Amino acid sequence: MAAISREEVAHLARLSRLAVTEEELDTFAGQLDVILQAVAQVGEVAAADIPPTSHSVPLTNVFREDVVTPCLTPEEALSGAPDAEEQRFRVPRILDEDVAS
């Protein structure tokens, strides 16, 4: 049985903000199925009482002195922006037209 369906892959693509093509969906569904079946092996390990490791360095709450250091100017920060206006990143509309008007 397949670990993942074409419909589930389409849903993942939407969640991932990827406007994938129909052809890509066919390819990815098959490939992700192979990968998921392989990585599912982690389920064979009896690990109910084992604490998870998210990170190999046991550091928490790393602080530094609150001193001002040189940083990017607004022009530098915006230098790679696809679109900018009045020292801001300019984005396509977020609200629907009728809500905005």
Partner 1 sequence: MTDVTAMTATQIAGLVATGAASAVEVTQAHLDRIAAVDGRVNAFLHVDTEGALAAARDVDARRAAGAELGPLAGVPVAVKDVLTTKGVPTTVGSKILEGWRPPYDSTIVQRLRAAGTVMLGKTNMDEFAMGSSTEYSAYGPSRNPWDTDRIPGGSGGGSAAALAAYEAPLAIGSDTGGSIRQPGAVTGTVGAKPTYGGTSRYGLVAFSSSLDTPGPCARTVLDAALLHAAIGGHDPRDSTSIPAPVPDVVAAAKLGATGDLSGVRLGIVTEFGGEGAEPGVTAAFNEAVDTLTKLGAEIVEISCPHFRYALPAYYLIAPSECSSNLARFDGVRFGLRTGDDGNRSLEEVMSLTREAGFGPEVKRRIMLGTYALSSGYYDAYYGQAQKVRTLITRDFTAAFERVDALISPTTPFVAFPLGARTSDPYQMYLADLFTIPSNLYGGPGISVPCGLSEGLPVGLQVMAPTMADDRMYRVAAALESAVGTLTPPTM
What is the Cα–Cα distance from 36 to 57, expressed in whole angstroms? Answer: 28
Q: Decide if residue 34 touches partner 1 (CB under 8 A).
A: yes
Neighbours of 28 (CB within 10 A): 19
Q: Decide if residue 101 touches partner 1 (CB under 8 A).
A: no
* CA 96, chain centre distance (Å): 25
Q: How many binding residues for partner 1 (CB under 8 A)?
A: 53
DSSP character string of 78-100: TTT-SSEETTEE-----S-HHHH
Which of 59, 68, 99, 100 is the binder for partner 1 (CB under 8 A)? 59
- Where along the sequence are the contacts to partner 1 (CB under 8 A)? 4, 8-9, 12-20, 24, 27-28, 31-32, 34-36, 38-45, 47, 50-57, 59, 62, 64, 72, 76-77, 79-83, 89, 91-94
